Amino acid sequence: MSELINTLMQDARVWQGHRHNKTTQPAEPTGYQALDNQLGGLGWPRGALSECLLDAPGIGELTLLVPLMQRLSQDGKTVFWLNPPHTPYAPALAREGINLDQVIMIHTEDKGDFLWTLENCLRSPVTGLVMAWPGKLAAREIRRLQLAAEAGSNVCVLFRERHYAEQNSPAALRLELEPDHQQSLKVNVVKRRGSWPGQRCSLAIAHRASLSHHETPRVVQGPWPTAAR
């Protein structure tokens, strides 16, 4: 029993208020040094859920995942978009160096289909990243997804409304996102496995503003008219 407890503590699954334990969990760098510094030099946890909490889509939240999408897709891993609020614009993704052959977008009809699809994406060996927009989830459903995430070795990011920050979640990482003027994004660490929350940083996203459907709907928002022949 003592060996099990020691393993849990070393794995940062038991949070100890009196000291900081650096997690040994596998992670993927975010591609933003300022953010990685606030995440203990790690990044997006693999085999665990992450949550991005925001008031409304289109504030530049997708830019946080661009470096990871680029790296994983170029390595032959599949990037799933599950129930995104708008259709991503393929040329914009290609300009960022993302391999479109590895990008799959899925729309489900109800919550049951959503959960089943997300679980299977998380468990698939071809998956590198799952980005999902789930809407309202019960605590038991999030725990169910967390178990599926632990069964795989990929990254899962849930985009949820900001008011869910007040609710408990088994997610390993929870980030609260706010627009900071028009060229940067404020990130507040609400929860980070193995450490205290409250770290903050501001990320410049001007060079990738084209991925924000709020600012440039022609880029990621469809459908588009068929070109004349």
Q: Give per-residue pLDDT as tens, 91-115.
A: 989 999 999 999 999 999 999 999 9
Alpha-carbon distance of 69 to 51, in angstroms, equals 17
Q: In which band, very low, low, confident or very high, does the pLDDT at 184 lie, cut at 50, 70 and 90? A: confident
CA nearest 30: which of 72, 85, 86?
72
Q: Could you count the other beta carbons within 10 Å of the beta carbon of residue 85? A: 12
Which domains, and CATH codes, for the chain?
26-215 (3.40.50.300)
Output 90 or 19, whichever has higher pLDDT: 90
Percent share of the chain, pLDDT over 90: 54
Range from 12-16, 66-70, 152-156, 192-196 carrying the lowest mean pLDDT: 12-16
pLDDT of 56 higher than 80: yes
pLDDT of 18 higher than 90: no
Q: In which band, very low, low, confident or very high, does the pLDDT at 223 lie, cut at 50, 70 and 90? A: very low
Residues 6+ apart with CB under 8 A from 3: none
Q: What is the pTM of this model?
A: 0.80
pLDDT of 179 higher than 80: yes
pLDDT tens, residue by residue, 30-53: 999 999 999 988 899 999 999 999
